[in-house]
Amino acid sequence: MSLDISSLDALHDTLTRLSTSFDTLPNHDADTLDDAGREVLAQVAERLTNNYPYHHPLYAGQMLKPPHPLARTAYQLAMWLNPNNHALDGGRASSAMEKEAVADLARMFGWTESLGHLCGGGTMANLEALWVAGQRRPGTILASSQAHYTHGRISGVLGLDFAAVPVDPRGAMDVTALERTLASGGVGTVVATLGTTGFGAVDPLPEILTLRDKYEFRLHIDAAYGGYFALADNLDDAARAAFASAGEADSIVIDPHKHGLQPYGCGCVLFADPDVGRLYQHDSPYTYFTSNELHLGEITLECSRAGASAVALWATHRLLPPVRGGQFAENLSRCRTAALGLYQYIDKSPDYLPVMAPALDIVVWAPQGASTSAISARSEALFDAAAGRDLHLALLGVPVDIARAHWCDTVRYDTETVVCLRSTLMKPEHATWLPEIEGILTHLARR
């Protein structure tokens, strides 16, 4: 059976244990799932069959990683209470678990005294980071042209100017171009991306930090996708140096619902200076009345937030601590091993063109073709053909300037972008499924 259902036994046992803690209350008739509800649930299951097999190793397309069975089960267990981590009244146990889990994430970057919380995802986390940045150091927001598009949108929402910095052939921020922009003045914050969503590129953080010493901007790190790779032991020198320097940033965003094995949505924003909590101050006496402890609602722009997300993350950290040398870190390293293996296969294949070596676990390549328009057409055809063999990839529009830096001069560049294939090998088992994946790609290229 492809989907795990054995965890339902553990859910039943732990739910029974949780239920007994309320046995002193007067009995009441709780809502149950009747026959009509079961029929609707059957319809839900039928509708959900119209999905790609995101949980399977042959799904190697978008950034979709199945939650760990413990995370999924802990989340479900918490949902019988449905805690709200906006205030301690609504999430007593889950708020404490959130603080502990967030502290685990901060320690990954060497922070022992910081401020942070969970939120709905990377977009909301980056919104908060740039909202704080705009108040602490007003001015233009800079991010690379390969950074997530949300930074431009967020800047617009916040009423801040935004400018994109060109990238180098690796898809990482071009430091020379960055300095030219900084020298013109008016920059408040630079966003460094550690793991772009297109290429998985890692911006050159040590060089950016050197420029911060000279130009005194605020530094925010968007590590929504790549942040956990701070624990991996098989990065190249440039990526390793970038992650080693991450603790010098002013704020960091990381998404546990990507490599952190959590259900959607679970993002996290971290601030090096706990004093930024002053920017969130507000008066809501009807919400805060039971404790003098920090209410997480006091340090977030969101109000209601699922306490179940904190419960699931806390449980996962107890089983798989996010520390160097542990099983969790080893699994991340296996993802990169899988990406390097696929890249080596493509690089040696006469049928494919690699765009660049992967910095993390994302591989971008294309089928051979005489022109970028022909390559785009072949990529789209191969995308469909691979799905017919149950191998699910993704498509990515690559600027021809980047492609040209990696491909031979025999390709005719007749378009501004070229459609390429993209694989996100974010499941550790991808490393053992490479022969199957490569076999399908070889068959499709030569048919």
Q: Is residue 14 part of a domain?
A: no
Q: Are 273 and 279 in contact (CB under 8 A)?
A: no
Percent of the chain with pLDDT over 90: 85
Number of domains in the chain: 2
pLDDT tens, residue by residue, 330-361: 999 999 999 999 999 999 999 999 999 999 99
pLDDT tens, residue by residue, 286-338: 444 444 566 677 788 888 899 999 999 999 999 999 999 999 999 999 999 99
pLDDT, position 237: 97
Distance CA 408, CA 414 (A): 15
Residue 387 burial class via C-beta count within 10 angstroms: exposed 0-12, middle 13-18, buried 19 and up:
middle
pLDDT, position 440: 97
Q: Are residues 314 and 409 in the same domain?
A: no
Q: Are residues 433 and 403 in the same domain?
A: yes
pLDDT, position 29: 79
Compare 84 and 299 and report the one with higher pLDDT. Answer: 84
Q: How confident is the model at residue 412 (pLDDT cuts 50, 70, 90)?
A: very high
Q: How confident is the model at residue 401 (pLDDT cuts 50, 70, 90)?
A: very high
Residue ranges with strand state E in 355-416: 362-367, 394-399
Tokens of 321: 């601590």
Q: Is residue 4 part of a domain?
A: no
- How far lies 365's CA from each of 34, 167, 386, in Å? 51, 18, 14
pLDDT, position 286: 45
Question: Which CATH number covers residue 419?
Answer: 3.90.1150.10
Tokens of 24: 């002193």
Percent of the chain with pLDDT over 70: 97
Instruction: Pick the last residue of a domain from 270, 287, 319.
Output: 319
Q: Are 123 and 154 in contact (CB under 8 A)?
A: yes
pLDDT, position 284: 53
Which of 354-357's residues contact partners 24+ apart within 8 Å by CB, and which partners? Answer: 354/406, 355/199, 355/398, 355/402, 355/403, 355/406, 355/420, 356/169, 356/170, 356/171, 356/199, 356/402, 356/406, 357/236
Q: Are residues 125 and 267 in the same domain?
A: yes
pLDDT, position 282: 61
Q: Are residues 243 and 366 in the same domain?
A: no
Q: Are residues 275 and 171 in the same domain?
A: yes
Q: Are residues 153 and 230 in the same domain?
A: yes
Helix (H, G, I), strand (E, B) or coil at 425: coil
The upper half-sphere exposure of residue 329, i.e. CA atoms within 13 Å in the direction of its Cβ, equals 13
Compare 281 and 414 and report the one with higher pLDDT. Answer: 414
Q: 426 phi and psi, to 5 degrees?
A: -100, 5
Q: Is residue 75 part of a domain?
A: no
Instruction: Pick the last residue of a domain from 270, 288, 319.
Output: 319
Average pLDDT rounded to a whole number, residues 15-38: 88
Per mean pLDDT, which range of 16-30, 34-48, 103-117, 177-191 is the poorest?
A: 16-30
Greatest alpha-carbon pair distance for the chain in Å reads 79
Q: Are residues 304 and 343 in the same domain?
A: no
Can you give the pTM of this predicted structure? Answer: 0.95
Q: Is residue 129 part of a domain?
A: yes
pLDDT, position 293: 61
Query: H/E element holding 162?
Result: strand 162-165
Query: H/E element holding 220?
Result: strand 218-222
pLDDT of 393 higher than 70 = yes
Average pLDDT rounded to a whole number, residues 64-72: 95
Average pLDDT rounded to a whole number, residues 277-290: 61
Q: Are residues 260 and 347 in the same domain?
A: no
pLDDT, position 122: 95
- How far lies 302's CA from each of 33, 116, 233, 265, 344, in Å? 32, 13, 35, 13, 44
Q: Is residue 44 part of a domain?
A: no
pLDDT tens, residue by residue, 115-171: 999 999 999 999 999 999 999 999 999 999 999 999 999 999 999 999 999 999 999
Q: Is residue 39 part of a domain?
A: no
pLDDT, position 283: 58
Q: Is residue 64 part of a domain?
A: no
Question: Which CATH number covers residue 227?
Answer: 3.40.640.10
Q: Are residues 127 and 184 in the same domain?
A: yes
Structural domain including 150 reads 92-319
Distance CA 156, CA 387 (A): 38
pLDDT, position 290: 44
Distance CA 68, CA 320 (A): 10
Edge-to-edge, what's the strand order for the sheet holding 417-424? 352-354, 362-367, 417-424, 394-399
pLDDT, position 292: 53
Q: Are residues 140 and 276 in the same domain?
A: yes
Q: Which residues, 6+ apart, have CB-to-CB distance to 53 below 8 Å?
A: 2, 59, 390, 392
- Tell me the residue length of the chain: 447
Q: Is residue 282 part of a domain?
A: yes
Instruction: Pick the last residue of a domain from 319, 352, 381.
Output: 319
Q: Are residues 129 and 175 in the same domain?
A: yes
Edge-to-edge, what's the strand order for the sheet holding 162-165? 115-119, 267-271, 251-254, 218-222, 187-193, 140-144, 162-165
Cis peptide before 121 (omega within 30 of 0): no
Q: Are residues 111 and 225 in the same domain?
A: yes
